[in-house]
Structure 1
Amino acid sequence: MIDKSIILNKYARNEVSPAEHEAFQSWLKTLPAGEIEALIDQYGEMVAGMESPGTAANPGLLAGIYREISKREAAATNIPIKRLTFRKWTWAAAIALLLIAGGIYVWKVNQPLPVPSELANNIKDIEPGTNGAILTLSDGSKLALDSIHSGTINLQGGAVAKISGDILIYENSGQASSYNTMSTPVGRQFQLSLPDGTKVWLNSASSIHYPTRFTGPERKVDITGEAYFEVARNAAQPFKVNVNNKATIQVLGTNFNVNAYDNEYTINTTLLQGAVRVLNSGQQSVVIKPGQQAKITNIASHQADQKGNIQVIAAANVDQAVAWKDGLFDFNGAELGEVMRQLERWYDIKVIYADGIPNVELAGKMTRGVSLQGLLIVLKELGVHCKLEGRTLTILP
């Protein structure tokens, strides 16, 4: 009897023997299609959760499971096998992790997946974004935090912060309050622990402006771009977020994500825990509950849209809203233009369209740790054709 957890773990660490591989493939043929798909889900999550994403996960499992699922579905639906590729997010997640490990595999064990012809002439690949930020002090001086892996930073007014890994932590707020700004360039992200213990994750091309000491009746910060908050509870001193001077979020203690990039159609506040009040610039407000999302129109996409309107999504895709924080791209149900704007911010590229934005239905999740060319190989399987020249990516019809 095969213990699937043990054998999947061996595949994930590339420790499976030829005999184990043969036995597993034989066992695989006896399973119903639903159980086979559950295996690929389990394997993808197992690989994604490994401490070292560079560990060379074994491609043989994916190849075998791919063949079994595709053969059965193709027989049932008369759909060509190649159109079934990457219907599950874990195809993309596992392949992306294999790409990190330096082996591009999927169709056959130890056979490389061909690079699409439109990418073949691209010699220089583009690496993904990484951790890093710039800290601007109240006197205007700047510190590049990605060059400081550990240590203590003495700030104005006696405030003290330390770098621990990829987190800036305020330990002593000092006697007087001054303001600092953390900003992440394109292709960077970072974490911050504010003086009150509130934790902030800052996505690429974003910023947060905050005091080194919270005084007065409220704790107020200003953000641009995208940030995820875990707010330290203090009923006597409510927490307030000014979102790019276009919206305000009021909260006592909660976990939420704010996406407020200038080039996105809406400003989205997605609540995971607690309760928040979201106000637009006209002081209209809504209170949202966990699992809900407040959308404020940022760019009118239709004539009927009015800038600043608030809409509440009762059952929001919370996992998708915070996928970036967990190191993932989540393409499920996303418009191609939205996905490409994410890639621009993470890979520091410019995206142009040869003939408008193609109407392509996207699905799947994948790690943000894969190189751009690796991601484009996966997107090609989802029907998105591209041409990369330098740092300009052209989306083809």
Structure 2
Amino acid sequence: MHTDDTRYKALIRQWFNGGESDDEARELHALLQDSGRYPELMSALEAEYGSLDVADFPEARAKALAGQITGSPVVERKGRVRFLRGWRLAAASVALVVGVAAYFWSVREQDQGAPAGGAEAAIQPGRQGALLTLADGSQVSLDTVQNGTIALQGGVAARVVNGVLTYEGDGTEIVYNTISTPKGRQYHITLPDGSGIWLNAASSIRYPVSFAKGAREVAITGEVYFEIVAGKARPFTVLAGDKARVQVLGTRFNINAYENEKYLAATLLEGKVRTIPGRDAAKAGVILRPGQQAQIAGTMPSGISVTDNADIEKVMAWKNGLFNFNGATLAEVMQQLERWYDIEVVYENGVPDKKLTGKMTRDIPLEGLLLGLQELGVNCRLEGRRLTVLP
């Protein structure tokens, strides 16, 4: 047995029993900040399932979550009231608690067996996949393609290598492809110049299969993360509909341009970009520094505003396999769930004025996630793929 696995089990056992030391609580908190540790944590949780006091678990979980949301430094466990410092609340985080909720839900489903005839299957989380539209208009589903040549266009071969779409060869003509992800899908491609592109759910990018010598230009919808290969002689430009033009020299940045968001957000992680409202390349726009976010909306007097010290972790959560709901309104959370789980969200009596906090992995079934949200005071009714948010 690996030392890490043994340590994870000990930390989880101590946390649920309420016997962890200050150092152990800090250690668990640090682990929860690393999404790469979640599989090991969940594996350790599964191994410890039989020894956990599950009779008290739901109340303990609810109390811990309530403490995070309200800031109340109290959590009750096994008849005791414990006073917690700020970092201890973080250790009782949504990331683990909702993962635990999902785990217990999955165990319950396994114990009950497969759905009976006519019963609906659980709504699974999104996964890798996309639709590729070739230059001749034909379409190829990439949902299950891991390796292989897809097409030869204008002297360039489109190939999938280990689940990533790539382009090889020198183009003899300028032809365009479009990658689109429906709800419940995300995808990674490598552009002809070697730049990496990641599409969130319900997004698209249109691009040439080989770039001309003088410029590189693509058009997007939805949310896309870019890692652009530098090339001063060939500036890179991203068009986000009629909302914005982003001009780039080698850099890493994210653009959220969903139509149902209140503004377009361009967030710079590394390098330098010029963000221009609209499509007019002659406008001066705003040059961003790393850590800044440009927000563009028609309701803004100048059309654009800049936020310093953007929450990069929150912006990039989708690419890192997480939901990050820190400071998010309930409406914003539900928009993310609509896109990732391919569901329709409606409100029975208006949108509740509620903000959430915490992180959770994006790889759990919807029903497991709803268990966690219920403990946050968000009550819903799921009928098929229609989720009704109750008052």
Alignment TM-score > 0.5, same fold: yes
Preserved CA contact (<8 Å) 1:151 1:163: yes
Task: Give ranges in structure 2 of 5+ residues lacking alignment.
Answer: 110-118
Counterparts in 2 of 1:142-291, with a 5 A limit? 142-281=139-278, 283=283, 285-291=285-291
Classify the secondary structure of the residue corresponding to 1:103.
Answer: helix
Preserved CA contact (<8 Å) 1:271 1:293: yes
Write the distance in 1 (CA, Å) between the matches of 2:20 and 2:39.
32
Match of 2:21 among 31, 51, 57: 31
Write the distance in 1 (CA, Å) between the matches of 2:40 and 2:250.
33
> What whole-Å deviation, never above 9, does each CA across 1:334-373 have from its counterpart, x for those lacking one?
1111111111011111111112211222110111101111
Which residue is equivalent to 2:331?
Answer: 337
Q: Displacement, 1:92?
A: 2.6
The answer to whether the aligner puts 1:41 opposite 2:29 as a matched pair is yes
Classify the secondary structure of the residue corresponding to 1:128.
Answer: coil
The 3 A distance-change label for structure 1 pair 263 and 232 is same
Match of 2:132 among 127, 131, 135: 135
The 3 A distance-change label for structure 1 pair 40 and 51 is closer
The 3 A distance-change label for structure 1 pair 52 and 201 is farther
Match of 2:90 among 78, 88, 100: 88
Classify the secondary structure of the residue corresponding to 1:213.
Answer: coil
Which residue is equivalent to 1:119?
Answer: none
The answer to whether the aligner puts 1:389 opposite 2:391 as a matched pair is no
The answer to whether the aligner puts 1:10 opposite 2:6 as a matched pair is yes
Preserved CA contact (<8 Å) 1:95 1:104: no
Classify the secondary structure of the residue corresponding to 2:143.
Answer: helix
Which residue is equivalent to 2:314?
Answer: 320
Which residue is equivalent to 1:117?
Answer: none
Which residue is equivalent to 2:354?
Answer: 360
Amino acid at match of 2:6: K
> What whole-Å deviation, never above 9, does each CA across 1:188-227 have from its counterpart, x for those lacking one?
0000100000000001100000001110421000000000
Preserved CA contact (<8 Å) 2:101 2:371: no
Q: Displacement, 1:77?
A: 5.9
Write the distance in 2 (CA, Å) between the matches of 1:315 and 1:273.
13
TM-score (normalizing by structure 2)? 0.81
Which residue is equivalent to 2:292?
Answer: 292
Q: Displacement, 1:31?
A: 2.3
Over the residues paired in the alignment, what is the CA RMSD in angstroms?
A: 3.6
The 3 A distance-change label for structure 1 pair 245 and 10 is same
Aligned length: 360
TM-score (normalizing by structure 1)? 0.80
The 3 A distance-change label for structure 1 pair 313 and 234 is same
Write the distance in 2 (CA, Å) between the matches of 1:358 and 1:276.
37
Q: Displacement, 1:147?
A: 2.7
Task: Give ranges in structure 1 of 5+ residues lacking alignment.
Answer: 113-121
Q: Displacement, 1:159?
A: 0.8
Counterparts in 2 of 1:70-149, with a 5 A limit? 79=74, 81=76, 88=90, 91-98=93-100, 102-104=103-105, 124-149=121-146
Q: Displacement, 1:57?
A: 2.9
Write the distance in 2 (CA, Å) between the matches of 1:173 and 1:56.
50
